[in-house]
Chains A and B, each alone.
Chain A
Amino acid sequence: MKRDPVLIIALALAGLALFLPLGGASWTAAPMAFALWLAMFAASAFQTLRPLPTTRAFVLLAFAALAGGYSLLQLIEAGANGGEALALWTGLASLFFLIWRVVERAAMLGIERPGIATLIAAPLIFGIWLLYVWQVLVLGFKVPGVLLPAPSVICAALIGARETLAADFVQTFIKAVIPGFFIGGGAGFVTGLLVDHMPFLQRGLLPLGNLVSALPIVAVAPIMVMWFGFDWQSKAAVVVIMTFFPMLVNTIAGLEALGRIERDLMATYAASYGQTLSMAKLPAALPFVFNALKVNSTLALIGAIVAEFFGTPIVGMGFRISTEVGRMNISMVWATIAVAAVAGSASYGLIALAERRFTFWHPSFRKP
């Protein structure tokens, strides 16, 4: 019977780690780490020799990965660090192969029995692994916090300064991004609808719109700050300009997307323009509109934050980033980035959910 090569590599590296130097620490001085590492080794060895079916294999390997991961953190605490702690880095490599299998089992679980928990398991574990590697590398190599803080430090900053961060979030996201996003998207959509009436304008606007959406629109930020002042209005204006063109181009392309046959069908029904629009053209355009909304959801946040670099009141995410960089308080910067990333992902996710809801008929959502 063929053994799993990935797990064999993981086991070999894990065994090797027990005999390599540990820098400032030793396995005997950290009995807890030693015990956990052995538990990890035993669990992986069991799966290698007597493979379990998917679900149980996933549970066993996930347990092994947790034990191994905690063991390495204990080693670092016991004083293992730097380039001479070869066991630490070999152990990390061993965990990499173990995690590879865990993620694969999780992905297979998602295929075998789809559900929200099993579908997000694989990406979630992968994300936690990335954070873990970051933590171990920063702590293990003693990277100064000014260069790159450890995730644990960022998390502490996130909790410690939650009121400041909440105020920044309101200023940037609620006051600038959301109105700008809706005004820009709405204006783009309405312009697209109007232009659809006039084929001449449409043929002129589509190539130009494509060109404009390729332009570095962020660069108008200083001009907007000059025109609309330092407060959120100028940031909203930047967001409006950034979100307008992707929406315009996509709306025009989407309204065009309706097939000849469908158009002819509506004509044989003697449908009015309004009826054709609401019953055939708009539904056909929806996938394009959602595409624009997705693109815009990340563009809007970037636009607002960059605009704050060119002048702002003393609150806002862009302001926080630029001042805390100046004060070398990098963990606070990363905390702000984390807030922005979560806000961006959440808006993207919300739009993706709405897309599934409203364009469920689209081929890309069909079950294979």
Chain B
Amino acid sequence: MTTTSAIFAFPADLIRRAARGTALPVATILLLALTLWYAGTVFLNAAVVTDQYQRDRKTSWTTEEFIADTMSMERPVLPAPHQVAAELEKSIFGVRLTSKRNLLYHAWVTFSAAFLGFGFGNLLGIALAIAIVHLKSLERALLPWVIASQTVPTLAIAPMIIVVLGSIGFVGLLPKALISTYLCFFPVTIGMVKGLSSPEPIQLDLLRTYSASEVQTLRYLRLPASLSFLFPSMKVAVALAIVGAIVGELPTGAQAGLGARLLAGSYYGQTVQIWSALVAASVLSGASVGLIDLGERWLDRRLGGQR
């Protein structure tokens, strides 16, 4: 980390080092995005505000007043960032943690389904990959269908699957988790097939000279070699798992979760609520990716990897 080690350095030096690192560029882009967002707020809400003024027979207004009005609407076309922040603050700290109006509660509901599905998806993906790597005919016969399985618009039929599973007694967490599983086994399978077959022939030959069994080869060579492929796949998979859980909450059956918040917001035109649910979903998936990154670093150190 360039920036942390440079904290005690001379300020000019600090700025130069920050510019070479990623922190300053990222901050700049974020600032740019925020500016664009504010501009978009004024631009997109302008028509509604003008309309309102005409209805109120208001004939003259200052620019500042106009801009302030575009940013403080009840149901804006695009809410301003600070409105979303205020809504987030209100729905996280303003109500009890266990209350159904608390956003953290909804985020937890979504996260638990996504996490369960992510676990299943990883197990399924790794099992499939091990089978594919060990049975040559399976690679030809099964792998194309693994790819084709993802062209089925699962997200699009998720509501139907939820309804069907609900009618045969599966309710609550499991149906949502199944959708997450279906979405996230794919990157894991593809990454693990690549990772498990990544050892060089010379390494496989070495294990053969040790007369290692297939299981031992898997345990001591293939699995460790596949880790650097597994973690990037898991990062993709966890994001997909969260998307799957959110879409699984869209049918009316789900009363809780970020997806239910999105749908409710969309029904009642509560744009600020939609955006705050969106932000919560983004933070959730960003944090999950970060968590996996931490796990990757930890495991890497444990296995004596050098970075």
Binding site for B on A (CB under 8 A): 103-104, 106-108, 110, 119, 122-123, 125-127, 130, 146-148, 200-205, 207-208, 211, 214-216, 218-220, 222-223, 225-227, 298, 301-302, 305-306, 309-310, 317-318, 321-322, 325, 330, 333, 337, 340-341, 343-345, 348
Q: Within the complex, what minimum Cβ distance (angstroms) separates A366 from chain B? A: 15
**Roughly how many angstroms separate A191 CA and B80 CA in the complex, as a whole number?**
25
**Roughly how many angstroms separate A205 CA and B193 CA in the complex, as a whole number?**
30
Given contacts A208-B26, A344-B151, contact A219 B278 (CB under 8 A): yes
Contact A219 B262 (CB under 8 A): yes
Residues of B within 8 A of A126 (CB): 141-142, 145
Contact A214 B153 (CB under 8 A): no
**Roughly how many angstroms separate A166 CA and B250 CA in the complex, as a whole number?**
27
For B165, give the chain A residue with the smallest CB separation: A147
**Roughly how many angstroms separate A303 CA and B278 CA in the complex, as a whole number?**
16
27 contacts between A and B (CB under 8 A): A106-B137, A106-B140, A108-B137, A123-B140, A123-B144, A125-B141, A126-B141, A127-B148, A147-B167, A204-B28, A208-B29, A208-B30, A211-B286, A216-B243, A216-B278, A218-B243, A219-B243, A220-B278, A227-B44, A301-B156, A305-B153, A321-B157, A330-B164, A337-B153, A341-B152, A345-B147, A348-B151
Binding site for A on B (CB under 8 A): 19, 21-22, 24-30, 44, 77, 136-137, 139-145, 147-148, 150-157, 159-160, 163-164, 167-168, 235-236, 239, 242-243, 246-247, 250, 262-263, 265-266, 269, 271, 274-275, 277-278, 281-282, 285-286, 289
With A205-B29, A341-B151 given, name 13 new contacts (CB 8 A).
A148-B164, A203-B21, A203-B26, A204-B26, A208-B26, A214-B236, A216-B281, A222-B274, A223-B275, A306-B155, A341-B148, A343-B151, A348-B151
Given contacts A123-B144, A215-B239, contact A344 B137 (CB under 8 A): no
Select one of B26, B147, B163, B235 contacting A325, CB under 8 A. B163
Residues of B within 8 A of A202 (CB): 25
Residues of B within 8 A of A222 (CB): 262-263, 265-266, 274
Contact B140 A122 (CB under 8 A): yes
Contact B282 A215 (CB under 8 A): yes
Contact B246 A298 (CB under 8 A): no
**Roughly how many angstroms separate A216 CA and B266 CA in the complex, as a whole number?**
16
Most chain B beta carbons < 10 A, residue from A119, A298, A305? A298
Contact A123 B155 (CB under 8 A): no
Among all A-B residue pairs, the 4 with the closest Cβ atoms: A204-B25, A344-B151, A305-B156, A222-B266
Q: Within the complex, what minimum Cβ distance (angstroms) separates A107 from chain B? A: 4
**Roughly how many angstroms separate A309 CA and B141 CA in the complex, as a whole number?**
35
Contact B29 A201 (CB under 8 A): yes
Contact A216 B242 (CB under 8 A): yes
Select one of A110, A205, A226, A345 contacting B148, CB under 8 A. A345
Given contacts A204-B25, A208-B26, A216-B242, contact A107 B141 (CB under 8 A): yes
Contact A214 B289 (CB under 8 A): yes
Contact A201 B168 (CB under 8 A): no
Select one of A200, A215, A227, A325 contacting B25, CB under 8 A. A200
Residues of B within 8 A of A125 (CB): 141
Contact A218 B247 (CB under 8 A): yes
Contact B239 A214 (CB under 8 A): yes
Residues of A within 8 A of B282 (CB): 215-216
Given contacts A222-B265, A305-B156, A344-B152, contact A216 B29 (CB under 8 A): no
Contact A218 B155 (CB under 8 A): yes
Contact A204 B22 (CB under 8 A): yes
Q: Within the complex, what minimum Cβ distance (angstroms) separates B286 from chain A? A: 6
Q: Within the complex, what minimum Cβ distance (angstroms) separates A112 from chain B? A: 12
Given contacts A200-B19, A214-B285, contact A298 B150 (CB under 8 A): yes
Contact A302 B157 (CB under 8 A): no
**Roughly how many angstroms separate A366 CA and B250 CA in the complex, as a whole number?**
45
Residues of B within 8 A of A127 (CB): 145, 148
**Roughly how many angstroms separate A126 CA and B139 CA in the complex, as a whole number?**
11
Q: Within the complex, what minimum Cβ distance (angstroms) separates B240 from chain A? A: 9
Contact A325 B153 (CB under 8 A): no
Most chain B beta carbons < 10 A, residue from A103, A214, A318, A348? A214
Q: Within the complex, what minimum Cβ distance (angstroms) separates A243 from chain B? A: 15
Contact B159 A322 (CB under 8 A): yes
Q: Within the complex, what minimum Cβ distance (angstroms) separates A176 from chain B? A: 13
Select one of B141, B151, B235 contacting A298, CB under 8 A. B151
Given contacts A309-B250, A345-B151, contact A201 B277 (CB under 8 A): no
Residues of A within 8 A of B143 (CB): 123
Contact A107 B156 (CB under 8 A): no
Residues of A within 8 A of B164 (CB): 146-148, 330
Residues of A within 8 A of B278 (CB): 216, 219-220
Most chain B beta carbons < 10 A, residue from A103, A219, A227? A219
Contact B145 A215 (CB under 8 A): no
Residues of A within 8 A of B285 (CB): 214-216
Residues of B within 8 A of A325 (CB): 159-160, 163
Given contacts A107-B136, A214-B286, contact A310 B266 (CB under 8 A): yes
Residues of B within 8 A of A302 (CB): 153-156
Contact B28 A226 (CB under 8 A): no
Contact A301 B160 (CB under 8 A): no
Most chain A beta carbons < 10 A, residue from B28, B167, B262? B262
Contact A215 B281 (CB under 8 A): yes
Residues of B within 8 A of A108 (CB): 137
Given contacts A126-B145, A204-B28, A208-B29, contact A219 B281 (CB under 8 A): yes
**Roughly how many angstroms separate A234 CA and B285 CA in the complex, as a whole number?**
25
